[in-house]
Every structure is written in C-alpha cells, then in structure tokens.
Amino acid sequence: MQISARNILKGKVTKLVQGAVNCEVTLEVAPGVEIVSIITKASAASLGLAEGKIASAVIKASSVMIAVD
C-alpha cells in the first residue's frame, strides 16, 4: 500500500470503546504516549481491531495548531 500522508505512527491497540455507531480506538505509539481516534464501528470490524493488535495512526492535516494559557 502507498499513501501520501507523511505522519504514520505505528503502535499497539490498548483500548477499544464500542458505541452504537462509532468506536474509540486508543493506540500506544511509544511508552506512555497514546493517540486516540474515533472511527466507525464498521471500519474497526473491517480492520479486525482488537486489544494487542499492531496498527498505525495515519495523520494527514494541513495545519497543526498549538496554544497556551
């Protein structure tokens, strides 16, 4: 598979929270560093996601904003 996104972080699925339509997926990409994504329940099933499975977070964004108080 080829993809245009430049930010791809490989990690392990540590938590899945199934909703009626969506699924919250937590991916540990480094010790103590997690990325959380909301995807459709159908997509989670199609990908065969389960705790312990290796997956990648693919981030494609035109801008990243940073703020402080």
pLDDT, tens digit only, all 69 positions of the chain = 788 888 889 999 999 999 999 999 999 999 999 999 999 999 999 999 999 999 999 988 777 777 888
Nearest residue to 41 (alpha-carbon basis) of 55, 26, 21: 21
Q: What is the value of pTM for the model shown?
A: 0.84
The CATH T-level fold of domain 7-59 is OB fold (Dihydrolipoamide Acetyltransferase, E2P) (2.40.50)
Phi, psi angle pair for 61, to nearest 5°:
-140, 145
Is 55:15 a contact under the CB 8 Å cutoff? no
Mind listing the pLDDT tens digit for each residue in 46-62? 999 999 999 999 988 77
pLDDT at 29: 95
Beta-carbon count within 10 A of 16 CB = 15
pLDDT at 62: 73
Phi, psi angle pair for 7, to nearest 5°:
-105, 100
pLDDT at 52: 98
Q: Which amino acid is at 26?
A: T
